[in-house]
Amino acid sequence: MDRSVNVSRRAFLQRAAALSSLGAAATPLALNLAAMGQASAQTAGDYKALVCLFMNGGNDAFNMVLPTDAASWQAYTTVRNQAPDPINLRAAGTAPVATAAIGSPDRLGGVLPIDPVNNQGRSFALHPVMTGARDLFAAGRLAVLPNIGPLVRPMTRTDYGNAAFPRPASLFSHNDQQAAWQTLGAEGSTAGWGGRMGDLLMAGNSGATFTAVSAAGSAVWLAGRSVLQYQVSASSGAMRIGGQGATTLFGSAAAMNSMRNVMRNARSTDLLARDHAAIVGRSIDAEQLVSAALPAANQAPYEATGSNAGLSSSLLWYDTMAGTRALNPLAQQLQVVARLMAARDALGVRRQVFFVNLGGFDTHDAQNRTQAELLARLSHAMAYFDGVLGAMGLRESVTSFTASDFGRTFTSNGDGTDHGWGAHHFVFGGSVRGRDLYGTFPQLGLPDGRGGFNSPDQIGNGALLPTTSVEQLGATLGRWFGLSDGQLLDLFPNLLNFDASRRNLGFMG
């Protein structure tokens, strides 16, 4: 038998076994979807991965990507220059004041200009600490997605004023909007669109266990209807259950093997006990495979040659707002992601989805210092990951994107910002059509004296009303990943509410 046919048959049987738990009524549909995904993966014939970089807490995108044309800058400065701790950044070219408070706009200096291919007749810049992101943008490997957020259908400010107009549930709520970004539903949704992509494409992975991987704990974005997310530690890689890494128990290899058998085999017909035993068995097998396949963390390209953990020469360290060097936990998560990608052949994967996160963005207070520190970590980690993937020859195979609970208010509360809706985000990788904006950048207005803003893109407190939906982002990534139009409409049903010409945002090569 031809080898490709044999591999396909084996993958189909593996997939059928994985889907058996869905029940008789669900299995025919699920197998059809699996077959479609298998065909897509076979046609691609290469490795691809998506990485979701989630900023927990709701990032203030107004200070991450800034329009600097005269009208926008005037509105920005007027609204954000509020006592007692103004949060408006300084104009491009402004020299840093070394004696100013750490993290303050004066201490940071001017914003960093960027030059989009299609600048929409305006000028733009990034936060002063984001030199790594600026360089990725200039190199053509990073694009900006302006004013994106969860939407049911396109919505105007007039529509927003109509309580009957369909909108995402529980706007401005952390838990619900994290769920809206990751699952397209409200809090309590159990399947994320990353995991569902894995459902459709994992038939091409002989090691289906490693289809969806989190380096940041449990993430609903990775949960599929049949795909189970696999969690790794950013510091140690594969995680072990108890003493499973040891070879003996009380000096006896036989005792260790007996203990493992007890752990992985249920001794009753209770469904919970059997489920627990299956998960333990899966964990034991996966840990042994990953530990054997994962390259060492302290070697190039994942780390500087000869560098040891804790040394300031480490590639994982970044420049803090205090002028020191410190370990970047986001870069550390991306390091283990890169190492898992290097082990892709040993792990038997051709399509993977990964999740990493960075917390602390709920900046109601002390925003100047807090956000600057976080954006420095973000920018450094993005540049680190790009460099590692370049050294591995995987830049074109990996696409990463940022996400967050929501954007924040344009108005300041005195030293921070409150919960908003739309926000600007990044997508980066070697297959990204970078150095451009994908979507219309919003107009920044001034308070209208009636509790609103004189901009069609802003609602209460100046929060952004999204003009691009998370589902448009997901569909654009999904097409590059190998999904068909039919599969994308199944994953993102609200796409039908958007003009066909806008379902693919065009940022992927």
Domain ranges of the chain: 3-235+297-342+350-502, 238-294
Asked if residues 230 and 215 have their Cβ atoms less than 8 Å apart, the reply is no
In the prediction, which pLDDT does 185 show?
Answer: 94
How far is C-alpha 82 from the chain's CA centre? Answer: 32
In the prediction, which pLDDT does 14 show?
Answer: 41
Residue percentage of the chain with pLDDT more than 90: 77
If you average pLDDT over residues 32-56, what whole number do you get?
65
Distance CA(133)–CA(129), nearest Å, equals: 9
In the prediction, which pLDDT does 25 show?
Answer: 33
Q: What is the DSSP string of 291-355?
A: HHHPPPTTSTTTS-TT--TT-TT-TTEEE-TTS-EEE-HHHHHHHHHHHHHHTHHHHT-SEEEEE
Closest CA to 186 of 224, 223, 220, 228: 220
In the prediction, which pLDDT does 275 show?
Answer: 65
How far is C-alpha 251 from the chain's CA centre? Answer: 45
pTM over 0.85: yes
- Give the residues across from 423 on adjacent strands: 148
Structure tokens at 330: 């986001």
**Residue 47: is its pLDDT beyond 90?**
yes
If you average pLDDT over residues 132-149, what whole number do you get?
98
Question: Residue 424 phi/psi, 5° resolution?
Answer: -90, 145
Per-residue pLDDT band at 351 (split at 50, 70, 90): very high
In the prediction, which pLDDT does 276 show?
Answer: 67
Q: What is the mean pLDDT of the chain?
A: 88
| Sheet strands (E) in 132-259 | 142-149, 212-214, 230-233, 237-238
Q: Dump pLDDT digits (tens) for 171-182.
A: 999 999 999 999
**Residue 4: is its pLDDT beyond 60?**
no
Q: How many CB atoms lie within 10 A of CB 456?
A: 13
In the prediction, which pLDDT does 213 show?
Answer: 97
Q: What is the DSSP string of 180-191?
A: HHHHSS-TT---
Q: How many CB atoms lie within 10 A of CB 493?
A: 12
Least-confidence region, from 71-80, 257-266, 292-301: 257-266
In the prediction, which pLDDT does 241 show?
Answer: 60
CA distances from 428 to 52, 142, 397, 421 (A): 11, 4, 11, 22
Least-confidence region, from 66-75, 198-207, 390-399, 427-436: 198-207
If you average pLDDT over residues 19-27, what whole number do you get?
35
In the prediction, which pLDDT does 266 show?
Answer: 64
**Residue 280: is its pLDDT beyond 80?**
no
Residue located via tokens 């898992």? 340
**Residue 394: is its pLDDT beyond 60?**
yes
- Give the residues across from 318 on adjacent strands: 326
Distance CA(312)–CA(405), nearest Å, equals: 33
Q: Dump pLDDT digits (tens) for 398-432.
A: 999 999 999 999 999 999 999 999 999 999 999 99
**Residue 154: is its pLDDT beyond 50?**
yes
Tell me if the bond preceding 301 is cis, omega within 30° of 0: yes
Q: Dump pLDDT digits (tens) for 230-266.
A: 999 998 887 666 544 556 556 676 766 666 666 666 6
**Residue 440: is its pLDDT beyond 90?**
yes
Q: Dump pLDDT digits (tens) for 118-138.
A: 999 999 999 999 999 999 999
Distance CA(171)–CA(155), nearest Å, equals: 14
Coil, helix or strand at residue 253: helix
CA distances from 231 to 182, 215, 276 (A): 17, 6, 16
Asked if residues 442 and 71 have their Cβ atoms less than 8 Å apart, the reply is no
| Amino acid identity at 383 | A
Q: Around 137, how many Cα atoms within 13 Å sit in the side-chain half-sphere?
A: 24
Distance CA(408)–CA(392), nearest Å, equals: 37
Least-confidence region, from 32-46, 49-63, 94-108, 129-143: 32-46
Cα angle for residues 243, 249, 253 (degrees, 5° grid): 115
In the prediction, which pLDDT does 217 show?
Answer: 95
Coil, helix or strand at residue 328: coil
Q: What is the DSSP string of 87-101?
A: -PPBPTTPPP-TTSP
Coil, helix or strand at residue 449: coil
Residue located via tokens 């949960």? 223
Q: How many CB atoms lie within 10 A of CB 175?
A: 12
In the prediction, which pLDDT does 151 show?
Answer: 98
**Residue 16: is its pLDDT beyond 50?**
no
Q: How many CB atoms lie within 10 A of CB 449?
A: 7
